[in-house]
């Protein structure tokens, strides 16, 4: 975000305006952020390889291959998620219109020139998914309800605001001083406070619940005076379990996105959420996340 703000002000200072300036800001910021993240990963990789006595050039070659492969795969995955969500939302809307015996729809998109134009349902069905999404106003895909992409949306809003001179600079300055104050107060993770301010509540609350489970494990370990290698074993097992849950959720999401992309309809086990059942399932999951690490450390879970 810091790179984005600096680049945006530089572009404005150079006299760039309009969509070209916004595209340049986002392009430079994306390139810089990706380079920094890949560099950080490679530093860790090469450091670990040096400790283990690996051959540097072989590791560098492997890193180049892995970055290229990851970029290619991520392009396909992001396309799958975007188009899968659009097809899901458009399919549901068209099915609803069929049940209402609707034969035509009025344009609901954001292009002013098409406002008020009417399309038949048959014409809409024959169009590509992106145009169907625009005409029906389903607002699916990246930036929609299921794929909110809050960080990308934030970068776009900040970049556009600075280029169009609509940004309140006082808010940026206040944020800078808030960060300094949090650091001086020795807050363990100041960044989490800032990130939590723009992430949706359903995401941040899940992180909060995970933190409660971790805090419970730490309190039990402290009460039983588990230290040293046993405490390290608890942390390692907990990280592996949490990583597995994250990977499993991501793979399941990709499966659903693939089914939506293939226009395979899924049955609904619950037409409306069963909150009591969800709470019970989360409790069982929490018990699993607490007991397993403690068992691996040799601690009793009585």
Cβ contacts of 115-123, under 8 Å, gap ≥ 24: 121/94, 121/97
Mean pLDDT of 139-168: 79
3-class state of residue 2 by DSSP? helix
147 secondary structure, DSSP code: B
Reply yes or no on whether the pLDDT at 300 is more than 60: no
Q: For residue range 28-56, what is the model confidence (pLDDT) as tens digits?
A: 877 887 888 888 888 888 888 888 888 88
Reply yes or no on whether the pLDDT at 70 is more than 50: yes
Degrees to nearest 5, angle at CA 131 with 125 and 133: 85
What's phi and psi for 102, nearest 5 deg? -85, 135
| Band (86; pLDDT cuts 50, 70, 90) | very high
The size of the chain, in residues, is 302
Reply yes or no on whether the pLDDT at 302 is more than 60: no
What's phi and psi for 147, nearest 5 deg? -125, 70
Rounded to the nearest integer, the mean pLDDT of the chain is 84
Mean pLDDT of 101-121: 88
- Map 60-93 to HEC letters: HHHHHHHHHHHHHHHHHHHHHHHHHHHHHHHHHH
Mean pLDDT of 276-284: 88
Reply yes or no on whether the pLDDT at 268 is more than 70: no
Residue 123 neighbours by CB under 8 Å, 6+ apart: none
Mean pLDDT of 84-103: 89
Angle at which helices 18-52 and 2-13 pack, to 10 degrees?
140
Q: What is the DSSP string of 243-266?
A: HHHHHHHHHHHHHHHHHHHTT---
What's phi and psi for 242, nearest 5 deg? -65, -40
| Band (299; pLDDT cuts 50, 70, 90) | very low
Reply yes or no on whether the pLDDT at 3 is more than 80: no
6 secondary structure, DSSP code: H
């Amino acid at each position: 975000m810091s790179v984005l703000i600096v680049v945006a002000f530089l572009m404005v200072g150079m006299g760039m305006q309009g969509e070209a300036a916004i595209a340049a800001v986002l392009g430079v910021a994306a390139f810089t952020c990706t380079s920094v993240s890949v560099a950080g990963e490679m530093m860790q990789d090469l450091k670990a390889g040096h400790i283990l006595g690996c051959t540097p050039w072989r590791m560098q070659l492997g890193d180049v291959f892995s970055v290229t492969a990851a970029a290619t795969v991520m392009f396909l995955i992001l396309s799958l998620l975007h188009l899968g969500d659009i097809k899901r939302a458009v399919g549901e809307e068209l099915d609803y219109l069929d049940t209402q015996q609707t034969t035509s729809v009025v344009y609901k998109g954001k292009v002013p020139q098409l406002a008020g134009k009417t399309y038949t349902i048959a014409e809409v069905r024959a169009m590509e998914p992106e145009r169907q999404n625009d005409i029906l106003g389903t607002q699916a895909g990246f930036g929609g309800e299921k794929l909110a992409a809050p960080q990308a949306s934030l970068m776009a809003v900040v970049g556009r605001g600075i280029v169009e001179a609509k940004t309140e600079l006082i808010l940026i300055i206040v944020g800078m001083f808030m960060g300094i104050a949090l650091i001086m107060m020795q807050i363990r993770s100041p960044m989490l406070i800032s990130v939590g301010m723009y992430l949706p509540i359903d995401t941040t609350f899940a992180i909060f619940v995970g933190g409660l489970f971790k805090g419970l494990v730490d309190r039990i370990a402290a009460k039983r005076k588990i230290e040293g290698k046993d405490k390290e074993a608890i942390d390692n097992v907990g990280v592996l379990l949490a990583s597995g849950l994250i990977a499993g959720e991501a793979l399941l999401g990709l499966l659903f996105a693939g089914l939506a992309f293939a226009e395979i309809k899924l049955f609904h086990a619950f037409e409306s959420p069963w909150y009591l059942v969800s709470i019970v399932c989360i409790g069982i999951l929490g018990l699993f996340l607490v007991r397993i690490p403690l068992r691996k450390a040799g601690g009793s879970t009585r």
